Amino acid sequence: MKKFLSIPTLLVIILFLAALSQAQVSVSIRVEHANARKSPSSNAEILAVLNEGDTYPVTDDVPYWYKIILQDGREAYVSKKLCKVIIEEEDEEEISQPPDVSYEISSFDQTVSLPNCAPSQLTVDWSICPPEGSASQTGYRLTNQKKNRIEIPCTYSTITIEQILALKNLPKNVRTLPAGDQRITYLQGLESKSVMAEGYLAMVKRSAEETTNCNSSTRKDLHVELLAADAGDPKNQRYKVVVTEVTPWFGENHTSWTVTELGQYASYKGGYGGSMLRPPTKVRIYGWLFFDNIHADAHSIGNWRGTAWEIHPITRIEVWENGNWKTIE
């Protein structure tokens, strides 16, 4: 006997497809980790592991699965029960024309210089994974090149967590805007700065596979979240978190920069599951100011992070312990 879809079910599908044709439809991952698969089957090959709060554009709707576009441009399927649908109108005006606001860069008056330090850079083997990673699209390649910086400065501009949160948000396609656009000038000016931020270590975990690291299952970033103050459970304050990242290149040169070691100073490790382990420890994070344009949307900002601006890569970590700053090697 043939089975037919009920009227309510058909109506839902029709409304979804109508929205898909008239607006941008995305899904937000609502669990800690979700598998993105090659085809709409729980037995299909896993192409990527997605993180809670990440959003992806939807290109098709099939029974029990959404077809999405991954950050590296590949198509994949994610189970509907692992995500929620977000429908928004495209804002082409904002993307195609510079907004009528000032993009002046605030001065960074105070700096800190490390003693007995000479500027250097890591020795890396780019044949393992090139600076642009495995991305094929120009915007993603440019983003990955910034993430994969290997320079180690000796002088850093001091910046507070509040100042990072106050930096202007930019469109996702900012790296491919025409030269001279005030937004890309703003981006380039800030990303040229090495900074030191003092905050509280809310959570540390290993990131998912990504094109930055050529989708390696072993060489992954270390995701470190900071808050401006020790005030309550960090799990309830993710909307004002600043994300910082240790890349594999730096992680391979600092054996203590791991979830296990840094986790002893964090309120949570491996994600925000379970109860708070301890109050967050005060830390100093040194590194390069970076705009993660992949997360420059309202479904990331104000949800599971406070801004798309990061410190990435991290070049030095200190923790406040027994009344002194201790360097984590």
Domain that holds residue 106: 95-327
**CB neighbours of 178 closer than 8 A, spacing ≥ 6?**
184
Is 245 in the same domain as 261? yes
Q: What are the two backbone dihedrals, phi and then psi, of residue 256, each rounded to the nearest 5 degrees?
A: -95, 0
**Contact (Cβ atoms closer than 8 angstroms) between residue 131 and residue 101:** no
Tokens of 4: 């037919």
Q: What pLDDT shows up at residue 92?
A: 39
Phi and psi at 189, nearest 5°, equal -65, -45
Q: Dihedral angle at the C-alpha atoms of 128, 129, 131, 135, nearest 10 degrees?
A: 170
Beta carbons of 170 and 188 less than 8 angstroms apart: no
pLDDT value, residue 89? 41
Residue 1 lies in a domain: no
The answer to whether position 20 is within a domain reads yes
Residue 273 is part of a domain; what is its CATH number? 2.40.50.140
Is position 2 within any domain? no
Judge if 206 and 276 occupy the same domain: yes
Looking at the structure, do residues 131 and 56 belong to the same domain, yes or no? no
Whether 99 and 236 share a structural domain: yes
CA nearest to 77, candidates 90, 88, 66, 69 = 66
pTM of the model: 0.76
Q: Are residues 74 and 120 in the same domain?
A: no
pLDDT at position 263: 97
Question: Could you give the CA distance from residue 224 to residue 246 in angstroms, rounded to a whole number?
Answer: 8
Domain containing 70 — which CATH number? 2.30.30.40
- 42 and 128 part of one domain: no
Which residue blocks in 5-85 are alpha helix, DSSP H?
A: 7-22
Task: Give yes or no: residues 77 and 207 share one domain.
Answer: no
Mean pLDDT per 10-residue section of the chain, whose length is 329 residues: 50 48 70 91 92 84 86 87 70 51 82 96 97 92 97 98 96 92 95 97 93 94 97 95 98 96 97 94 98 88 94 98 96
